[in-house]
Amino acid sequence: MDTQERLEHLQNVLRERGNRLTPQRVAILRALVSDKRHPSAERIHDVILPDFPTTSLATVYKTIALLKEIGEILELGFGDDGSHFDCRRPYPHPHLICTKCGAIMDSEVDNFQNLIDSLASKNGFTVQTHRFDIFGLCPDCSGK
């Protein structure tokens, strides 16, 4: 799903649930689906402030909470470093995380769900959710 389709999908889902689509909320949604770097709430706030200077950080967090409630955003918590959000692919999937610059990149892996299912089956484990992060240096930081 491209960025515009994802934005329209989110707007339709929120509208169908009876949620208001204020210009600020639409700007937050647009910023979330446009940012491939898995932004923090603060980053989203910074992005929309030039167009909506009276929008509070709380408004961004409320929109994110609403999206989490309906399963349309994935939160990646990093303890003291806060959370980042993936609104483009709101389901568990592998991430490559740069330990130098903090970049978070999506990774496509063939048969990833088969790996999760196999690990669970071999250990008699019932998976509720999962998270798979690989830490290292991104191409920019490693000089490649």
The residues spanned by each domain of the chain are 3-86, 95-142
Residues 6+ apart with CB under 8 A from 51: 27
pLDDT in tens, 44-82: 999 999 999 999 999 999 999 999 999 999 999 998 889
**What type of residue sits at position 117?**
D
CATH of 3-86, one of 3.40.50.2300, 1.10.287.990, 1.10.10.10, 3.30.559.10: 1.10.10.10
In this prediction, residue 105 carries a pLDDT of: 93
107 pLDDT more than 90: no
Residues listed for the chain: 144
In this prediction, residue 51 carries a pLDDT of: 97
Q: How confident is the model at residue 85 (pLDDT cuts 50, 70, 90)?
A: very high
Q: What is the mean pLDDT of residues 109-121?
A: 90
In the numeric block, the tokens 């389709």 are attached to: 5
144 pLDDT more than 80: no
Whole-angstrom distance, CA of residue 92 vs CA of residue 5: 20
Residues 6+ apart with CB under 8 A from 90: 67, 71, 72, 73, 74
In this prediction, residue 86 carries a pLDDT of: 95
> What is residue 5's three-state secondary structure?
helix
For residue 68, count other CB atoms closer than 10 A to its CB: 14
Whole-angstrom distance, CA of residue 27 vs CA of residue 135: 31
Strand partners, 135: 97
Q: What is the mean pLDDT of residues 112-128?
A: 93
Whole-angstrom distance, CA of residue 115 vs CA of residue 79: 26
Whole-angstrom distance, CA of residue 7 vs CA of residue 4: 5
DSSP state of 53: T
In this prediction, residue 110 carries a pLDDT of: 83
CATH annotation of 95-142? 3.30.1490.190
